[in-house]
Copies of this chain bind each other. A is one copy, B any other.
Amino acid sequence: MNRFGSDISELLRQITHKQMRTETELMQQTGLNQQQGRTLEYIGAHEGIIQKALADAFRLRGATITSMLQGLESNGYIERRTQADNARQKQIYLLPKGRAVLEQISRAFETSNDTLVKALSPVESEQLIKLLAKINRGLDPE
């Protein structure tokens, strides 16, 4: 009915939207955008991951991943290796330049998260995480 800031879906959208602005700003220094940052982080935690798995993890299209990784590769952050045993897929690895920005990236995301939780008590934060995780799980099967 009276949406405009009152229903959950809309609240989530508003918060996330503001959050993305903050993160884009925080990442400015690195010259990367928010999604590139997340991707480098993820690759760092999953060296040798293939593009399809990145697409699934972030729910982005294959074409989007191709394009983003081409950018990261040509700027020297990562390397894509075609494997001997399966020429269909490419494994992704961080290069030194990529590893070098990880610290800065994770600081940016932590700061961003802090601006969110600072409005809540520790108990409330815990509650919120539980509720969100529940929703997130509920969204997955379909």
Contacts and interface: CB of A to CB of B under 8 A. Distances in A.
Interface size class of A (residues with CB under 8 A): 35 or more
A13 interface: yes
A106 interface: yes
A124 B135 CA distance: 11
Contacts of A13: 16, 19-20
Contact of A138 (B3, B119, B128): B119
Interface in A19-60: 19-21, 41-42, 45, 59
12 contacts: A6-B129, A8-B113, A9-B113, A9-B116, A12-B15, A12-B16, A13-B16, A13-B20, A116-B138, A117-B135, A120-B131, A128-B132
Given A12-B19, A13-B19, 17 more contacts: A5-B136, A8-B125, A8-B128, A9-B112, A9-B113, A10-B113, A11-B132, A12-B116, A13-B20, A14-B59, A16-B16, A117-B135, A119-B135, A119-B138, A120-B135, A127-B127, A128-B135
